[in-house]
Each structure stands twice: as structure tokens, then as C-alpha cells.
Structure 1
């Protein structure tokens, strides 16, 4: 990696962010009141060109950390280090790992799947589905090693046929295809987005970004690959990033290993990158790790939802990594990561172990909450997930805040709402067009009965409705002119209003 002193010569400015950020990315920042800064501006092309003119191979850039990934030998490194616009260089891998490898041959097989309902029920995802929340309108990034047979599996056919793969990119091999012979990502993605036979992922109707950042050999460059992938996804307007990877020890070059003291939520390269991503309003979900000891990076970040693994009996898995801090509980939450049902790259159903698979379980829940409460910030969503854990009143560094559930999130949000609020308001009233019903947030997630009554007291129409922030207000068509009485019945009371339709 080569890092630059500033961004002098960049053709972009914070006064015209639409030139380097998508409309969706700008909308996320506006919603969360995030100020666009120089950190968001792409790097100086002058500095990049200066390296190219020296014969240096330049690959990916990072605007957040203001640098580029290059391949160069030791003699070239000496020259580059002495350039006036270079602050530092860092060796992140050996030899020339960015030379493209040939694709491994995929072996498509017909899919055999089974229901994932039990592992989803633990998090209340079944309830989420009953409310019709399947991830519509959300953009989810999945960063992993590869997604072999993605284009050939029935489990993902709906994503491709409905054009809900926004883009894919393999940062390890420098190409768009992520079907690179590695399939850990395929299995992770199935838990989130598969829809095959009677196996349904947590949010199969979401739109996806798929990035390969993990290489067969472990070098620091993988952490920078994650950084490059996160910046690209941020510019596209990503809502959530699932990462079932982690870095601590075990690097091919042992000098790149992190000590426990460095897993402090702010030191590791990927943790620093994750903290920047979180500051842009992205929700980050990460596997806690499978060492049984201290969580790995970036799960050590307080801005990342680190997910531990439990079995179907809700007991912690022996391999699930833990935390050490007394005031930042890690993992944050837990989900089933023992015998987790998933779809393999061969299309068959399998039950496999690891926090790699508890994390995408949690991503399904997080996505449903984001969909139900689109006005909440990323930080608020993280807090809602933690507060909904079954150990929220007594968290520890084994289970964190425990097992969250969609139902508990609904109840928590209701409790926070004003106790004396009316169920709904109706406007415009009188109206010459449709009527809009805006429900008080206290009733989000509650099954309401809505009755339309004519002036003679006869029931004209009745239906049930479950409001959420994303379904608020409800548009009601009144086809005939006249006077109506609109009654909404909840578990705790009734609100009735007189409506005049011209």
C-alpha cells in the first residue's frame, strides 16, 4: 500500500458530491445527517499517475485512507517512499498475488434443500415474514472469499432473473466474476438470500452486492481488499454489509499477526475501515470468530454487530469467540451457528458450524428491522438489536446481549412510544381523493382491525393491517362520496373518526 499526503489535484469537491456518490448514498447521508467531508473525495489522479509513470502497477484506491494498492519490488519501494506526496508505504502481501488465476471449473448439480424455519424462528424472522418483510428495497453487501456456482444454482435464480445483483467484483483476482472456485460466500449468501423449494433465506427479496476479498493465503492485503469493497459499496448506497471473515493470527507472514492488545476496536486495518464505514451510516454485521478466545477484527469494533454462535438449544458453541472488555460487550449478540442449515455450492442442503453462519442469520433480522423502521439511523438499529437480546439486562462477554428477536424489537419500540397516544390520524379530512391514515408508532407491529362504517351504522368494509414505519401512512380508497365513520381497533382500545368524502 502507498499512502498519500493529501488529495491535491482531485477533480472532485464536497460542493458537488453527486459527481462521486450515488443518489442512494447521498440519501443515506442526508437521512442520518452525515456531513460529506474530504474523506469522501476520491484520491488525486496526479499522484496515481506519478506512480504509473515510474512503472508501478497500480490496482485499487482507497479514498477513506487516501492510498492505493500497488505491486512493486524493493528497489521501486525505496523510490516511492521518497516521493514528496507519499507519507508511507506498507507491505501487505508477498510476491505478486494480483496476477489473475484461472477459474476453477464449477460442477452444477440440482438443488436439494430443506426448511430453515427453526433457526429463523429463534430470531423471530418467521414473524418478520408473516408481516411481509422480505428485504424489498434494501441493498446488502456480502464480502467473502467467493461465490462459486452462483449463476447455476436454483437458490439464487430469482436474484439474477429479477436483476437484483447490483454488481459483483473479485478484489483478489481483479475481475468482475466472483465465481472463482471458492464457495464459503455461496453458503453465507444462501442463509440471507436463497429462495429454493422450501428453503427461504432471511431476506430473499433484497438487492445484493457481492465482493470477494479473502484469498487462499492470508496476508494484510485482504484487509485492504475489504476497505476497497466497502468504499465501492458505500458509493453505491449499500445499507448493510455482512462479513463472515476475521483477522487476528494465522497470517502467512506472522509479522502481520495482531496481538490481543491491538484488538482494541481501533487499531487493525479492517477495524479502522469498518469504523469509517459505520460513520457513513452503513450497518455492519460480522462473525465473532471461531477461536473460542478473543474476537477477531473487525468484530472488535464497537460500531460492528459481532455475532457469536449458539446451538439449537440456545447454548453457546465452544468455538464461538468472546470478548474481554467490561464496558464493550463482545460478541454483541448470538444466533444459531451450530448445525445451521444452508445451501452449498453443489445445490444441496447441509448443516454446518461456525460464526460464519450465525452472522448471516443475524443479517436477515437486521435487514427486516431496517425495512420495518427505515427512519432509524444505523446506530439506532444496532442499539435496537442489542436491546432486544434475551440477556439485554445482564450482558456478558460470552453471549453478549443474547438472542434478539423481531417480536421483542416491536414490543420495545411500542414501550418507548407515548402511552396516551391515539391509534391514528386521518388526512386530508374532508377529502376529494384518497384518505391517508398515519398510525402512532406505539402500534407498529400490532395487528389492527380497520372498519369502514356508513352513516346508517352498517359495516361497509373490514380488514386487518399491521403498521410499520415503512407502511405509514396507509392510503385508503373511498370510492363513493358521502359521510363515513372509520374505526381502528387495537389490543388496548379503539379510535374512531368521522370522514367526509366529496
Structure 2
């Protein structure tokens, strides 16, 4: 995960290309989004029916982030670039290939907000055209993953499935049918030929595929088998080898990871991939990727940067979550670094970042720890990542270590659970997963809320009348006539509150701290006029919203 390349060195031909090619990749951000062809009053013209249906379920209105980048801006920056790779509507930016002079000229344009280096060097398409319809590139040799070799295994997949209740989920008849899952990775070689994936093609379950590393390439079944391994932990269905949790889901396969190098352009690729998946109506994004250090040290993140709002990929994951997409991301394999060893976008709010446990239930040594740079608990959940059974690109059963392989198991669990409870919003799904976990009452920065379980999430915890009365999640008094309210929320000692008016403006954003998790938070509303407001609270991935009437 993360630096999937983990290479001993760069591929020789790629390094030579970077040396000979003076062109670099830049992100050009625009100040505005003037539109001539699209309007928010007609979202069906730029959003698919599935994307609109998800927004309806979540109670979300299309907004300016859904509108495309201005074509007239692109027309003016394109002559200063060698190639336009793609645009990002969420970032209001374009990814371009140009030299330093071209970047400086773009920076001077009045409608350009900023220009940032995204990656050094660029390996051009074979025929020099980005819109090439040539045959797909040939697969390159797979590098080692996380310095650990994939191994053969004599293990049974029963353990990893039963740990989170996949076996019970299947007995209840839920296999992810009707749920769309996107997998972001480095490539999916062997998926077309491995028998464990045959049903995906027989049943037309692959809804889309895109390569945002080589935008001219139209085949994702190439390159690094890490993506194949990850996909197998969601989609495999061959009892003699591996039966994973959500083999009846539909899938979108996206290459965002550039194996040969490690630059921030991969974060932009991820965001563009999320936009693409959103356009196809995706429900869940599984991302066994993460970023912290790069080939250019100037791009490296500090712990303080992992605050849920700084990294480009974290911003993208947060937007995806706000669009009602469940983002499931591996927390990282830097556990040896100790405290706050997570990677972006695992630091994002409103998503699930996933750690790894051993057969004993203890945290795996490699599994990254929290908290985030701003003190939130991470990861949220954990699953078995210490050599789970998976499928290799040659169709053979293997195993490997990493939070890359615990995350897709949680994604599969979530897909089956969402099939079972289609009325749930994304936040309700997260809440019930957290409530089902082994240490929900005492979350920590090793395993978060712990290992979830299908049956507890599906049926909910059975409470006595007295326990139900004591389980209070509320704002009081409500209506309020004073300048102070009390909030009973969550199980931790730190939360964030936002008070939002009916126009969507944030009037108050504050961090709340308490010494006893059973005591309410106290919030001052001085300066906030009478009216109806939305109160939004967040504690890690846990997000709760309610209305408040101030008289």
C-alpha cells in the first residue's frame, strides 16, 4: 500500500525517459468556475442518474464542485502546455505537462489561483498523443510490495471471513448485490484470466475502468498485481481458493498509483479517479494507497499536515465522503514509526481508515498508528492483515501482509451490509459498523473502535429499556433560549462542532474537550441570532447531525 512501488530502484527505461524529457507535470488551479453550458438547476446534464440517486438518498444537493472546469480557461492554458492530462472539477484544476517557463506564464494569468509542481518528468504516450486509441501498453514486471514477497499459503480463508462475520453475512443472503465498489490501485493483471474472477465478466459486473496514470491507456489489467490481490479480497468467488465478502457487487477499476516513481501527482490521480467513480454512481471506494514521503523531499508531509484538511488526496477523500461515498482506506504500514504513523488520506474525516490485527486479535506490528495531526483517533476499524488468503495475478492462492489487505475486507463487509440495509445513509452505515466493533466503548490509536462484526452491525446491539434510556445522543435544551447548550455525543474526549445556518454558512466551528466521556460537552452560542440551525459533530469517522432551534 502507499508507496506500492517500494522499489529497489527505478525502472531503467523510465529513468532514462525522465532524464531526456525536460517536461514536468503541474497542477494549475483556477480562481473561478464560469459556466456557459451547465447549470445547477439542471444537474442531470452533468451527473448520471446513479450519482443523482445517491445524492437523493443522502439528502445532498448538487453544488459547484459538481460543475466541470471552465472550458474557456482550458483554452487559454492549453497553448502553454505540452499536454493536458485531465481536469479535476473538485479541485477546480487541470493537470498539465509543461516546463518551468510555461508554468510561470500560467501563474501570471489573471484567472489562475496557483500553479504547483505535481511530478518531475513525464513518460509520453507511444505516439505522442494523449487521446491515443492505440493498443494498451504491455505489462511491466511487478516490483516487490512493501518489501514483503507474496507467499503461497496453506491457510484457510475461513478465519479472515469469520473474524468480521462474512460467513454469517453470506448465510443471511448478502453478497454486495446492487452495491457499486471502486478499487483504486496500481493495476489488475490476471483478473481477466484467473478463475476466481470469472463471474465478474460472465455477469458484466465491471461497470468501468480507467487509467489516470497513462490517460491514453484503455486497459487496467496490466502492471502491478497489488490491485489484483486487493480486488480478490472483495470480489473473489471460488470456494476451492477464496470466497470474499462482496463477490456480487459491481466494480469500477481505476489505476491511480504510478509504480515507477512517487510524486504528489498520484494524489491528483486519486481525486480524478474519485470524480470518475462518483459519475458512475459508486457507493464505496476501496483505496489501499497512502502517501507520506516522496521522491522529491520538498513534497513530504509532516505529522501536522495529516490533519484531515491539508493533503490533496485527503481533501479529495473528504469531498467524496461529503458526496455520500463510503471511502475505505488502509491506515498505512509504518507501524514501526510509532505514534501518528498514518498516511494520507487515512487522516480524512468522514471515512474509514483500516488497521490490521494478527490471529491473536492484537495490532500487527506494521499497522500504522494514530492520532492524526489534529488529535483525532485513527484508524477507525481493523481486520486481519497478517497474511490473509488472497489471489495472485497468476490465479494461484497466496498471502501477504499489510493494511492494504485488511481494508478491502472491511469494504466487502460494508457492501454486504449496505445491501442488507439500503435505507442507511453513509454516516448511518459507518455508525453501525463502529458500534459493532470490539472496542467501541474504549477506542484507541492502535485499532480504533476495533474489529467490526456483521451480525451486530446488521441487527444492532440488543439493549434493555434502561440501557436505551441511558444511551443519549442529543443536544439540549432544544429549543434553546440562552447562549449555552449541552451535547451528549460520542465516546471520546475530543470532538469538533459546527453550527451551520440555512444558507450553508458555518457560523461556529470549535473543538470540544471534556475529561469524562459520560459528561456532556458545553457549547457557547454567543453572537448567534435566533433561528433554525444545523449542528454537525464529528469524532473520528463518527459524524452526527441534528437541527437546533434558537429562540
Place the TM-score, normalised by the shorter chain, in its bin.
0.7 to 0.9
- Counterpart of 2:183 in structure 1 is 142
User: For residue 450 of structure 1, what is the aligned residue in structure 2?
Assistant: none
Deviation at 1:156? 1.1
Deviation by residue 1:256-290 (Cα, 9 ceiling, x = unmatched): 11001101111111001100010000001000100
Contact 1:298 1:304 in 2 (8 A): no
Q: Is the 8 A contact 1:112 1:348 kept in 2?
A: no
Between the aligned partners of 2:124 and 2:370, the Cα distance in structure 1 is 35
Q: Is the 8 A contact 1:81 1:88 kept in 2?
A: yes
Cα distance in 1 between the residues matched to 2:420 and 2:304: 39
Aligned to 1:389: 437
Partner of 2:298: 255
Inter-partner Cα distance in structure 1 for 2:314 and 2:140: 34
Residue 394 of structure 1 deviates from its aligned partner by: 0.7
- Deviation readout 1:439-491 (Å, 9 max, x if unpaired): xxxxxxxxxxxxxxxxxxxxxxxxxxxxxxxxxxxxxxxxxxxxxxxxxxxxx
Partner of 2:192, secondary structure, is helix
Residue 489 of structure 1 corresponds to none
SS in 2 for 1:147: coil
Partner of 2:510: none
Query: Is 2:153–2:389's contact at 8 Å kept on the other side of the alignment?
Result: no
CA gap of 1:53–1:387, structure 2 versus 1, over 3 A, is same
The residue number in structure 1 matching 2:105 is: 79
- The count of corresponding residues between Structure 1 and Structure 2 is 416
Partner of 1:440: none
- What secondary structure sits across from 2:59 in the alignment? coil
Q: Normalized against structure 1, the TM-score is what?
A: 0.79
Q: 1:49 to 1:233 in 2, by over 3 A?
A: same
Does structure 1 residue 103 correspond to structure 2 residue 138? yes
Q: Please give the secondary structure, in 2, of the residue aligned with 1:59.
A: strand
* Number of the residue aligned with 1:129: 170
Give 1:296's aligned residue: 343
Q: Does 1:201 align with 2:244?
A: yes
Deviation of the 1:180 alpha carbon: 2.4
Name stretches of at least 5 consecutive residues in structure 1 with no aligned partner.
Answer: 421-502
Residue 58 of structure 1 deviates from its aligned partner by 0.7
Unmatched tracts of structure 2, length 5 or more = 1-26, 127-135, 143-151, 469-551
- 1:360 is matched with 408
Q: SS in structure 2 opposite 1:151? A: coil
TM-superposed deviation, 1:76: 0.8
| 3-state secondary structure, aligned to 2:210 | strand
Q: CA deviation at 1:79?
A: 1.1
Corresponding residue of 2:418: 370
Give the alignment partner of residue 446 of structure 2, picking from 387, 398, 416. 398
Q: Corresponding residue for 2:545?
A: none
The answer to whether 1:226 aligns with 2:267 is: no
Is 2:421–2:458's contact at 8 Å kept on the other side of the alignment? no
How large is the Cα RMSD of the aligned pairs?
2.3
Match of 1:240 among 279, 284, 289: 284
The structure-2 alpha-carbon separation of the partners of 1:417 and 1:22, relative to structure 1 and needing over 3 Å to count, comes to farther
**Cross-structure match for 2:28:** 2
1:192 aligns with 2:239: no
